[in-house]
Amino acid sequence: MSSSNMEINPFTKKAYSANFFVLRNLAQTLPVSQRLPQLLSTIKTSNVVIVVGETGSGTTTQLPKAIVLDDELKKSGKKLALTQNRRLAAQLIAARIAEEMDTQIGNVVGLKHRGRDSINQSTILEVITDGSLVEVAKNDPSLPAYGVIVIDEAHQHTVATDLLLGLLKELATKRNDDLKIIIMSATTDAGLFLNFFPGSVLETVSGGEHKVLVQYLAEPPDENTIVETILQVHLIGRAGNILVFVSGVGEMMRIIKKVEKALSGDKARFGEHEIGPLTCWPLHATLSLEAQDDAIDSVPPAPRGELIGRKLLVSTNIAETSVTLTGVTHVIDSCKVKSKIWNPCDESWCLRELWVSKAVARQRAGRAGRTREGNVYRMCTEGGFHEALLEHSVPAIKEGDMLSECLDIFKMGRSPLTFPYIVAPATETIGKALSILFQLGLVDARGQDLTARGQDIARLPVNVYSAVVLLESPEYGCSDEMLSLISMMEASDGGIDVFIKPSTPDEKAEIRRIRKTFCHVSGDHLTLFNIYMSWRQACNENTADDFVKKNKLNAGVLRTADRTRLQLFRMLISNEKWELLYMDSSKPDYYLAMLKALAAGNYLRVAKRTEGRTY
C-alpha cells in the first residue's frame, strides 16, 4: 500500500488531518491524476522525460509529489528539486505541496530562494527558484544531492533556466545511472527540448482549464481603456475577481488610483449605474513577501445589497505562471511587458515596452479558467494581436550582457564559448562579455578560466561591477558603507523603485521635493545611501513606519536592502582578503572615499558629457 493511503502520515508519524483527505480528493479530480501511472512508468524507464502539461492540468504539484511517494523512485535516498522561475510561484507551490502532504514547509517539503532557505536533513522535495539552483550548481556542478530534477515552466526561458538546461544536458550522460531529469512546459514547443536532449521521451497531459471566452477591442486602446474595462466588467461581468496584467509598476499604480477615484464617494458609479464595492491590490516582484501574501490571500468585499463585491489584482508578469489565484474569472490583458535589452555594440541597456508573445498571452488567459469558466479581455484588436505578437518569447539569454552568466558558467567548470546553450546568445555578446571580464581581471588572457579574483566575484549574487566595488571597498576604508549602498542598488533596481510610484502630478512633484532632501551633489548612488542610512536611523528610533510614510518610500525595497546587506556580509566576511571597515561621517572625505570605491568597480562604465550634451 502506498504511503498516501495509510492512516498514519509516514513523514510526521501522526494521523492524517481531515484537510489531507479533502485535498487528496480534490487532487484526484485533476487531469494529471489519470496519467500519473503512465508518467511514473516512463520516468522509471527513461532518464529524460519532457512533460507538456497544459495550464490547469496539475502537473506542477502532483507529479513531483507522486515521485517522492513512489517506493522505487525514492529508494536512492536523494532529493527531488522542483524549480520555479519566480520567488512567488516557488512560495505558493511549496505551500500547496506541503499542505497536500500534511506537513509544514521546512520539513519534508523545503523552500529555497534568495533570502530564504528552509532546507534541512529531512527535506526530500525541494521547491527552489532556478537562480538558487544555479548557485548550488556553482558550488558543485554535478548536483550530487539530487536524484530527480524537475525544471518547471521551461518554456519561459529565463537565463537561469537555460543555464540549468545546458548543465543537465551534460549530467544526463555523466549521471545516467542515478539522475532523472524532467522538463515541464505548458506550451506545445516540445520539439526544442526533445532535440536538445537526445533519447528523451515526450509525455503530454491535457489541461484542466474551464472554458475561457477571449474578447478583443474593436479599435486600438487609449490610456483610459483598461480602467473603463475594469469598471464595465465589475458592473455587468459574471461573478468572480478581476486580474489585470500591465507592463510596469508605474502603469499599475495609475490604474489603481483611477479605479479608486471612480469608487470614491457614498455611491460608486460607472456612467449612470451604481456599482458594488471593489478592493484594489497591486502585485509585483518588488513588493515585500508580506504584501504579496496579502494581495493573494485577501478576500473580496461583501456585496452591498444586490451589488456584487469583487477583488481587483493589478499585476506585472509575476502572476503569469504556476500561480492559482483563487476566484479569478476575469483577466484583462494589456498584452505588454517591459524588458531590459543589452546592446553589445554601444554597451548600453535600454528598457523597452514590448508586446508579449502569443504563448504568454495564452498563459495569461489561463489564469481566468483555473477554478471555473472565465473571460479574457485583450487590450488590442484581434487583427493587431495576430500581426504584432510573436508565437514565442525571445529567450532572455539573447537580450542580456552575459557578464554574470559567463562567470556562472566558468564557476560550473564550463566555458561560455563551448557551453551547450539550448538557445545560444549572439557570439558578439559573449566576446564582448569576455573582453570586459578580462579588463576587470576576472578571467585569464585566453578567456578560458577564472582568475582567483574572478572566483571571489563569482560567489557574490550581485552584478559584476557591484561585486568588484564590494571587493575593492576595504582599500578605501568604506566597506561597511558600500555594503549598504550596493544592497540599496540591488533592492531598488538601481534606484528605480525606491519611492512609491506617483499617480498624480501633485504626488510626483511632492516626491521630487522629498528626493531633494536626501540628494547628494555627486549623484544617485550617494542619494540612495543617504536614504538607507536615514531609514536605519528611523528603525533604531522605532519611527520607521512614520518615516517611510512621510517620505513616500517603498518600505519593501528598504527591508529587502537590509536582508541583502546581511546576506552579502555573511559571504564577504568568510573571504580572508576582505574586512569590514567603517568611515567617520564627520570627516571631509566621507563621501569621496565611497566615490573612489564606486569608480574602482565601474571605471569601464564612466562617460563624460560634453557641452553639446553628448557623451
Query: Distance between CA 31 and CA 223 in Å, rounded?
Result: 40
| pLDDT-based confidence at residue 208 (cuts at 50, 70, 90) | low
pLDDT at 7 (0 to 100): 82
- For the chain, the distance separating the N- and C-terminal CA atoms, rounded to the nearest angstrom, is 72
Domain residue limits, the chain = 3-205, 212-397, 460-605
CA 282 to centroid of chain Cα atoms: 16
Query: Distance between CA 398 and CA 392 in Å, rounded?
Result: 13
DSSP state, residue 391? S
The top-level CATH class assigned to 212-397 is alpha beta
Q: How far is CA 276 from CA 35, 271, 305, 431, 464, in A?
A: 43, 13, 9, 58, 51
- Amino acid at position 48, single letter: V
Rounded average pLDDT over 470-480: 96
Query: Distance between CA 185 and CA 152 in Å, rounded?
Result: 6
pLDDT digits (tens, 9 = 90+) for 368-403: 888 788 999 999 999 999 999 998 888 999 999 999
User: Regarding the domain with residue range 3-205, which homologous superfamily does it belong to in the CATH classification?
Assistant: P-loop containing nucleotide triphosphate hydrolases (3.40.50.300)
- 159: closest CA among 456, 393, 495, 336? 393
| The model scores a pTM over 0.85 | yes
Percentage, residues of the chain above pLDDT 70 = 98
pLDDT at 6 (0 to 100): 55
Q: Parallel, antiparallel, or unpaired for β 79-84 and 146-151?
A: parallel
pLDDT at 281 (0 to 100): 94
pLDDT digits (tens, 9 = 90+) for 71-89: 888 888 899 999 999 988 9
Query: Distance between CA 366 and CA 280 in Å, rounded?
Result: 21
pLDDT digits (tens, 9 = 90+) for 416-441: 999 999 999 999 999 999 999 999 99
Query: Distance between CA 578 and CA 566 in Å, rounded?
Result: 15
Q: How far is CA 466 from CA 181, 557, 583, in A?
A: 35, 18, 19
pLDDT at 185 (0 to 100): 87
Residue 264 has pLDDT above 90, yes or no: no
Q: Are 3-205 and 212-397 in the same CATH fold?
A: yes
What is the overall mean pLDDT for the chain?
A: 91
Least confident of 93-97, 367-371, 588-592: 367-371
pLDDT at 1 (0 to 100): 40
Rounded average pLDDT over 347-374: 88
Query: Distance between CA 237 and CA 24 in Å, rounded?
Result: 32
| pLDDT-based confidence at residue 322 (cuts at 50, 70, 90) | low
Least confident of 318-327, 368-377, 567-576: 318-327
Q: What φ, ψ does residue 188 adopt, rounded to 5°?
A: -85, 10
Q: What element of type H or E holds 482?
A: helix 479-491
Coil/strand/helix, residue 493: coil
Residue 2 has pLDDT above 80, yes or no: no
Least confident of 107-121, 341-355, 373-387: 341-355
The HSE-up count of residue 312 (CA atoms within 13 Å, CB side) is: 29
Q: Transcribe 28-53 into DSSP letters.
A: TTSHHHHHHHHHHHHHHH-SEEEEEE
Rounded average pLDDT over 537-547: 95
Q: What φ, ψ does residue 597 adopt, rounded to 5°?
A: -65, -40
The b/e string for 542-560 (b: 16+ C-beta within 10 A; e otherwise) is eebeebbeebbbbbbbbbb
CA 240 to centroid of chain Cα atoms: 26
pLDDT at 597 (0 to 100): 96
